[in-house]
Amino acid sequence: MTTSTPSLTTTQRAARYLDAVHRKIEHDNAAKATLKRALTGEPRHLRAVYPILLSELDKAGVKYHQDEWIFVACLYAYYPQSLDPTRQQNFGHAARGLAAEGRSGGADRRFRALLDTSLDNLRSPLAALVRLLKTKSIAINYPKLIADLAGWEHPDQYVQDNWARAFWGAPPQSTAAEPVVETE
């Protein structure tokens, strides 16, 4: 007799993964530092996170978009947050908090540029915005960020549209629910 595993959304799987990463590095300052150094994007620093993260990716059943999952885990090590997978706020909501705090329009310019950036070039501007969010103690929904980065290159650009709506305060569009991903 086989037992079935309940289906989880990408956001739920991401929350479990990040929680496992947190437990793994919580009392290991060297591992935290390794993940933070990987934010530089240098290949040798990225390779250094593999012993820490690849087993957790495997446990989470992540086959695609591993680079994005690793990147967000590194952001999470830099600026840890609560991991509530039911929270619906996306990165646009967090960036909106920056715009509300500043008067120069810098957050607006950075956010507009972020929306037009390809996934391959997203790391540096996204990490820069996370650093700013940390200085203002603005919360980030990391599980949702992982799910959003997985859909970043969709031809309809629904992720960018959702972030823009959140940033500029438009009501959310009715969209299909996040796809359910079967786990083994």
What pLDDT, in 10s, does the model give residues 5-38? 458 888 999 999 999 999 999 999 999 999 999 9
pLDDT of 174: 54
Residue 49 has pLDDT above 80, yes or no: yes
Percent of all residues in the chain with a pLDDT value above 70, rounded to a whole number: 86
* Span 75-107, pLDDT tens digits: 999 999 988 867 889 999 999 988 877 655 788
For tokens 């929306």, the residue is 115
Query: At residue 66, does pLDDT exceed 60?
Result: yes
Which 3-state string (H, E, C) describes the chain?
A: CCCCCCCEEHHHHHHHHHHHHHHHHCCCHHHHHHHHHHHHCCHHHHHHCHHHHHHHHHHHCCCCCHHHHHHHHHHHHHCCCCCCCCCCCCHHHHHHHHHHHCCCCHHHHHHHHHHCCCHHHCHHHHHHHHHHHHHCCCCCCHHHHHHHHHCCCCCCCHHHHHHHHHHHCCCCCCCCCCCEECCC
Instruction: Name all domains of the chain by residue range, CATH numbers in brackets.
Output: 8-78 (no CATH), 91-170 (1.10.520.40)
Tell me: the pLDDT tens digits for 107-127? Answer: 889 999 999 999 999 999 999
Averaged pLDDT, 135-145: 95
Report the Cα–Cα distance between both ends of the chain, in Å, rounded: 15
Is the distance from CB of 18 to CB of 76 less than 8 angstroms? yes
pLDDT at res. 6: 59
Q: Which two tokens stand for residue 52?
A: 């820490």
Task: Give pLDDT, residue 121.
Answer: 95
pLDDT at 182 over 50: no
Q: What CA–CA distance (Å, rounded) separates 128 from 124?
A: 6
